[in-house]
Amino acid sequence: MQDTPSQKTVLLIGASRGLGLAMAEELLKRGYRVIATGRAASTERLQHLANACAGSLEVETVDITIPGQIAALRGRLEGRRVDVLFVNAGVKNDDRETLADVSTEEFVRVMVTNSLSPMRVIHAFQDLVPPTGTIGVMSSGQGSITNATNANYEVYRGSKAALNMFMRTFAARSASYPRSLLLMAPGWVQTDMGGPAARLTIEESIPNLVNTIEAYEGRAGFHYLDYLGRAVPW
């Protein structure tokens, strides 16, 4: 598919449902070309959306924990310009599970999915992003060490705090590029992950979160922000 020079392209990783799917819908409404990914078995809602939006949405597949799938997607997108690269994909473990009782396998699953894999995606695709483009990840307010005043969700929290650290080291390594590096905290939102008791609806979070991404376009350096654009303490 050819990019129209005036139309900005967003590569959105992990958009099969929840916040990612809502981001894809919001970006399409705002006129972006969107390349949105699900895992092989989870693209049905994206395919449905693509059928309804006349060529502005391309549906791709990648499991971010499988390096061969990241490399294959990178190959399929060779030569494309990506103005905004955003990794939304993430998982959590059972809320009641603490570091004292989580299995090693489950701990590794959460850490590899939430901390290592988004950075692998960013390393693989960063050269498609122009020097003034945006690279973002879906972090969480739970990743703030400053705000960690209770012991809830500690495995998940550790994974997002590690992601924040890796974005900072990535920023240090690529300091010569004036890119905007965003770590977004969407708030506690009603999705499969957030659950029905969450404070915010998707409609209260995602349009504001996209406003914040747009407001930080061209603002070099790394920014840890909530969905309303307020700085989150590290």
Ligand X SMILES: NC(=O)c1ccc[n+]([C@@H]2O[C@H](COP(=O)([O-])OP(=O)(O)OC[C@H]3O[C@@H](n4cnc5c(N)ncnc54)[C@H](OP(=O)(O)O)[C@@H]3O)[C@@H](O)[C@H]2O)c1
Helix (H, G, I), strand (E, B) or coil at 56: coil
Least distance to ligand X, CB of residue 178, Å: 26
Q: Per CB under 6 A, does 39 bind ligand X?
A: yes
**Distances, alpha carbon 128 to alpha carbons 27, 75, 124, 132, 196, in Å:** 19, 11, 9, 11, 37
Q: Per CB under 6 A, does 136 bind ligand X?
A: no
Residues 164-193 that bind ligand X (CB under 6 A): 186, 188-189, 191-193
Residues 83-102 that bind ligand X (CB under 6 A): 88-91
CA distance 4 to 74: 20
CA distance 50 to 219: 31
CB 50 within 8 A of CB 58: yes
Binding mask 43-62 for ligand X (x = CB under 6 A): --------------------
Q: Per CB under 6 A, does 74 bind ligand X?
A: no
Indicate the residue among 124 and 189 with the shorter CB distance to ligand X.
Answer: 189
Least distance to ligand X, CB of residue 141, Å: 7
- What is the token pair recorded at 168? 């900072």
Least distance to ligand X, CB of residue 120, Å: 11
Q: Per CB under 6 A, does 144 bind ligand X?
A: no
Q: Which of 10, 11, 12, 20 binds ligand X (CB under 6 A)?
A: 20
Q: Per CB under 6 A, does 35 bind ligand X?
A: no
Q: Per CB under 6 A, does 18 bind ligand X?
A: yes
CA distance 4 to 6: 6
Size of the site for ligand X (CB under 6 A): 27
What are the start-end ranges of the H helices in 7-131?
18-29, 44-51, 67-76, 104-111, 117-125
Least distance to ligand X, CB of residue 163, Å: 9
CA distance 114 to 50: 27
* Phi/psi of residue 221, nearest 5 degrees: 100, 180
Residue numbers of the site for ligand X (CB under 6 A)?
14, 16-20, 38-39, 42, 63-65, 88-91, 113, 138, 140, 186, 188-189, 191-194, 198
